[in-house]
Amino acid sequence: IPLVNKAIYKFDCNDGEVNCVKYHKNGKFFATGGGDRKIKLWEFKDAKCDLVGSLIGSNASIVSIDIDNEVKY
C-alpha cells in the first residue's frame, strides 16, 4: 500500500465526529467509527467510497477498530 500524504477523496462517513479509521492491507476496504456509535465498512473503487455495511448497537462512541488482515478479499 503506498503512503498517502494528502487527501485524495473527501466525503461524510459518520454522523458527527470520526474517531478512528482502519484500512485493510489490500487498500480496497476500510472501516470508520465515530461518535454516532456506528462502525461503517467502506469499499474504495472507481475513485469513490461506497458503503458496504454498518454495525450498530454500541452504547458509546467508537474509539478503536481492528481488521483481520488474514481474511482474503
Across 29-56, average pLDDT: 92
pTM: 0.79
27: nearest Cα among 4, 51, 52: 4
pLDDT of residue 4: 65
**Range with the poorest average pLDDT among 5-9, 21-25, 41-45, 49-53:** 5-9
d(CA 73, CA 71): 7
What is the tens place of the pLDDT at every residue in 24-42?
Answer: 888 889 999 999 999 999 9
Q: How many CA atoms lie within 13 A of 68 on its CB side?
A: 4
Ramachandran region of residue 58, left (φ > 0), alpha (ψ -120 to 50) or beta?
Answer: beta
Q: What are the strands of the beta sheet with 29-34, ordered from one edge?
A: 18-23, 29-34, 39-45, 48-55
Q: 70 pLDDT band (50/70/90 cuts)?
A: confident
